[in-house]
Structure 1
Amino acid sequence: MSESAVRIGLVLPDVLGTYSDSGNATVLCRRLHWREIPATITEFHYGEPVPAGLDLYLLGGGEDESQTLAAAHLREHRGLQSAAARGAVVFGVCAGLQLLGTGFGTTDGVRHEGLGLLDAETSPGDRRAVGEVVVQADQGLGAEPLTGFENHLGVTTLGRGSRPLGRVLAGTGNGDGTDGAVTGRVLATYLHGPVLARNPALADLLLGWVLGAPLPALPLAEVSALREERLRAGGHRG
């Protein structure tokens, strides 16, 4: 990275805006500013093309209709795919996870093509997963357990081209004991929260990918009472 501002793109917040996932952009920007690293956030709404020249892209959650609209829009306007191909960081939550995969099914029985940035296929499950989730991140993706909230019907199966974000300690996640998917610098999860507010280490992992090196620790009390309470709510006892 040069000394120019880190460019963060919030992709379709008017369509993929469930559970305040757009707050993940604010978290990333603030954590950069605390380190005196300039950053900007630009929103790209439905009907607007997503440019390929940003450093980090964020996608949030949404219901079936919103997710289908977003997938069609992003298949037509391929800036996000071009950005990922050149190494930009992409982070998706819930519907963002599903549409970043190879395909996803909706409750009307229709399969929709995804963006193919993750080797992950999603189909509707028999029962909606709702509640607190605790995930132990896989090696190289963080040492602390991740906390979040899930509300989805999807069951996600990973192919060989992706690995899970981590192992589910409490909750459902992908539906097979794991949560999320990672391929290169594309990472996604079922955790809302906003998840990067709940898990500052995950936020810094993404920023470290953008900047090309791990970030120095902030002189802040990272483990808040709220985070500890949410981990306990998910059944984690340390």
Structure 2
Amino acid sequence: MSDSSSALRIVWIYPDLLSTYGDKGNVLVLRRRAELRGIPVEEVHVHSSDPVPAEGDIYLLGGGEDRPQILAAERLRADGGLKRAAERGACVFAVCAGYQIVGESYGDDDDNPLPGVGILDIRSGRGQVRGVGEIVADVEPSLGVGRITGFENHQGRTAIGPSATPLSHVVKGVGNDDGQTEGAVQGQILGTYLHGPALPRNPGLADLLLRWRVGQIPPLEPSWGERLHEERLTAVL
């Protein structure tokens, strides 16, 4: 965890720009699953007018429309705090618009390439077909998460470069626009198109982020998160 505090520092980036799909749910579930294990948490909300602290442990970015996405990317690049945090080994969890802008480049609303933050080796643009609906994917086995479920609503297409690997392989849905992979991972940086929000629907993903920052964590008794996860899988497949 952060050297400056004994608490796990969770940083929610730009809720005023990147929180179109109930992304605060990711913050709440991550905090709750940490606290149930006795891990103290400090929650920091960073609005787009604020500097991004480089001393956090887990950084969360959510979804947004085209113009807020462009503004968020510009401010994050100019600020530099998120990139400095990633370079020192912090964990980053980025969803949809957030997923695209932490990459090397992304497309604006006319599919003109714009520079991203450059902490994940992906390049995104606009596809021909919009991915809308439930998605199910099997996470790379070495991550120990299993099958994930979510809701996708994007026209983005994302190509993964050699420094990153796919987060998962699609069972049902569109994903990165190839119908085969969904999301990407590079070190402790994880991006995905999954909404729902992703962590309430997939508590295993939340626990992966916690393991990355605090090491081994004790299991929790199955609760509503696990039940929601199974209900969604059963409904879709």
> Under TM normalisation by the shorter chain, which class is it?
over 0.9
1:193 to 176, 191, 196: 196
In structure 1, how many angstroms separate the alpha carbons of the residues matched to 2:111 and 2:90?
33
Q: Are 2:145 and 2:208, in contact at CA under 8 Å, matched by a contact in 1?
A: no
Unaligned segments of structure 2, at least 5 residues: none
The one-letter amino acid of 1:164's match is P
Q: Are 1:9 and 1:57, in contact at CA under 8 Å, matched by a contact in 2?
A: yes
Q: Does 1:204 align with 2:185?
A: no
Q: What does 1:12-161 correspond to in 2, within 5 Å?
A: 12-161=14-163
**1:110 CA drift (Å):** 1.8
Q: Are 1:16 and 1:95, in contact at CA under 8 Å, matched by a contact in 2?
A: yes
Q: Does 1:9 align with 2:11?
A: yes
In structure 1, how many angstroms separate the alpha carbons of the residues matched to 2:144 and 2:204?
7
Q: Secondary structure at the match of 2:233?
A: helix
Q: Are 1:129 and 1:152, in contact at CA under 8 Å, matched by a contact in 2?
A: yes
Which digits, 9 at most, give the CA deviation of each residue in 1:63-97, with x for residues without a partner? 11111000000000001000000000000000111
Alignment: residue pair count: 234
Structure 1 residues 168 and 38: CA distance shift in structure 2, 3 A: same
Partner of 2:186: 183
TM-score (norm. length: structure 2):
0.95
Structure 1 residues 153 and 225: CA distance shift in structure 2, 3 A: same
Q: Are 1:128 and 1:153, in contact at CA under 8 Å, matched by a contact in 2?
A: yes
In structure 1, how many angstroms separate the alpha carbons of the residues matched to 2:181 and 2:224?
25
Q: Secondary structure at the match of 1:180?
A: strand
Q: Are 1:205 and 1:214, in contact at CA under 8 Å, matched by a contact in 2?
A: no
Which digits, 9 at most, give the CA deviation of each residue in 1:25-50, with x for residues without a partner? 11111111111111021100011110
Unaligned segments of structure 1, at least 5 residues: none
State, as a whole percentage, how many aligned pairs show the same letter: 50
TM-score (norm. length: structure 1):
0.94
Report runs of 4+ in structure 1 exceeding 6 Å deviation. none
In structure 1, how many angstroms separate the alpha carbons of the residues matched to 2:200 and 2:125?
28
In structure 1, how many angstroms separate the alpha carbons of the residues matched to 2:230 and 2:156?
28
Deviates more, 1:134-143 or 1:214-223: 214-223
The one-letter amino acid of 1:215's match is I
The one-letter amino acid of 2:177's match is G
In structure 2, how many angstroms separate the alpha carbons of the residues matched to 1:10 and 1:143?
23
In structure 2, how many angstroms separate the alpha carbons of the residues matched to 1:233 and 1:65?
34
